[in-house]
A and B are shown apart, each in its own frame.
Chain A
Amino acid sequence: MRQNRAKTSDYPKLGSFRQTTPRPLAPAPDFWPAILPPAACRTYNIHMKLIAALLAAMLPCLAASPSADKNKVLGSANAPVTIEIFIDYGCPMCKRFHQEELPLLMRDYVVSGKVRIISREFPLNIPAHKYSREAANYATAAARIGAAQYDAVANVLFQEQESWETSGKVWETVSSVLTPEQQKKVKSLVGDSSVIDEVQADVDYGTAGGINGTPTLFVEKGSKRYPATGGVLAYNLLKGLIDDLLK
């Protein structure tokens, strides 16, 4: 009976059904063969590829924010709290923030050097805001000339929002606050690829941060960064938040 019993070694191994010829080993790294056998080198290679894939997947998280145009920054670079705001010139809530809350923030925190505000472009890609991208490009081009020009263009774009949004006369609105010389410069800059890329970099940065509406504020101090989405945070709440962070 015992002799008739088949031994496990009599059966072909499971792997042999799938593959009759041995698979060639992956080439070993140059500096390992002296230390490790080829099988270990292959394992090493697989692990290294996995680590590389993981690092590549993490790259968007590790990516630093695009450098902000200095003319779009309000306040001291040494301010302990930074507010990053993503705006769309065609968005009514952004207009409200710009006209009602920004002056209060300037008065209470920016002038005293406690808060720095970074404006970022986030023109929404929706039919109702079809001229927002153009407006963002003009504002960015104006910022290349100077902070005063950027402020003037941003102010007039928000002030005349309903007008240019319906008529599409963005340039007419922007040019009304610029001198003829500045108009020439802005007109030449707006088609420049660096301006277009800067706007797109802001949009990409915002999208990577999970933004899908405007205005979106990020209030940050050190490594802490808090998003305020879905509308304008009432000024008393924003003030309370900044005061808590400054403590």
Chain B
Amino acid sequence: MIFSNRASRALLILRIALGVVFAYAAWVKLDTPWQLFAGAIADYKLLPEWAVNPLARSLPWAELLIGLLLITGFFLRIAATACSLLLLVFFSLMVRAYAFHMEISCGCFGPGELISWRTLLRDGSLLAVSLIVTWTSFVGRTPWSVFFPRAQRISAPL
């Protein structure tokens, strides 16, 4: 992949930060009883009851795996894509709940955090970062390099 030095450093920081956030979110959920996360999922009123418990038990492990892969850089394309898809789903569900004035727990970082414009802003930012990381892992250049075609490029690992 070809990036300028500054861009590759910024992407590395973004990718690791995203990985740390995912790993932290997973750790918080795994540290609290899974029933509380199941309750948060059930409150969205989208999934049937039989699907809630397996999802509540498996999702934190998936988040942990994605977080670790993003931090280490292994299977980056798969990890970044999975991360973006997950965040896209989370963000859509949160926007829907907020639009319908559902006073429910976000479930993002454990129990006890109601959906608000702050949680939407935070998850929206995470989604934007994730999309940038995913884009660069496939295309080989940053989205903003389109505007700076003459920028110096060197080979650097993402």
Q: Mark each residue of chain A from 229 to 246: 1 if its CB lies under 8 Å from any CB of chain B, else 0.
A: 111011001101100110
Tell whether B12 is near chain A: CB-to-CB under 8 Å: no
Tell whether B92 is near chain A: CB-to-CB under 8 Å: no
Given contacts A230-B40, A230-B105, whether A244 and B114 have CB atoms under 8 Å apart is no
Chain B residues bordering chain A, tally (CB within 8 A): 17
Q: Would A244 and B104 count as touching, CB distance under 8 A?
A: no
Residues 193-242 (chain A) with a chain B CB within 8 angstroms:
210, 212-213, 226-231, 233-234, 237-238, 240-241
Q: Mark each residue of chain B from 64 to 76: 1 if its CB lies under 8 Å from any CB of chain A, else 0.
A: 0000000000000
Contacts of B35 in A (CB 8 A): 233, 237-238, 240-241, 244
Chain A residues bordering chain B, tally (CB within 8 A): 17
Given contacts A210-B112, A212-B114, A213-B114, whether A226 and B38 have CB atoms under 8 Å apart is no
Jot down 13 A-B pairs with beta carbons below 8 A, ordered by A.
A212-B114, A213-B114, A228-B36, A229-B114, A231-B39, A231-B103, A231-B105, A234-B42, A237-B36, A237-B39, A244-B33, A244-B35, A245-B33
What CA separation (Å) do A227 and B36 show in the bound complex? 8
Given contacts A213-B103, A237-B38, whether A230 and B33 have CB atoms under 8 Å apart is no
Known: A229-B114, A237-B35, A240-B35. 5 other contacts (CB 8 A): A226-B32, A228-B111, A229-B113, A230-B104, A231-B104
Residues of B within 8 A of A (CB): 32-33, 35-36, 38-40, 42-43, 49, 103-105, 111-114
Chain B residue with the shortest CB-CB distance to A210: B112
Contacts of A234 in B (CB 8 A): 39, 42, 49
What CA separation (Å) do A27 and B49 show in the bound complex? 69
Q: Would A233 and B36 count as touching, CB distance under 8 A?
A: yes
Closest 3 interchain pairs by CB? A230-B105, A227-B112, A230-B104
Q: Mark each residue of chain A from 139 to 176: 1 if its CB lies under 8 Å from any CB of chain B, else 0.
A: 00000000000000000000000000000000000000
Q: Would A241 and B105 count as touching, CB distance under 8 A?
A: no
Residues 76-92 (chain A) with a chain B CB within 8 angstroms:
none
Chain A residue with the shortest CB-CB distance to B106: A230
Contacts of B42 in A (CB 8 A): 234, 237
Q: Would B33 and A226 count as touching, CB distance under 8 A?
A: yes
Q: Would B33 and A229 count as touching, CB distance under 8 A?
A: no
Q: Would B38 and A231 count as touching, CB distance under 8 A?
A: no
Contacts of B49 in A (CB 8 A): 234
Contacts of B103 in A (CB 8 A): 213, 230-231
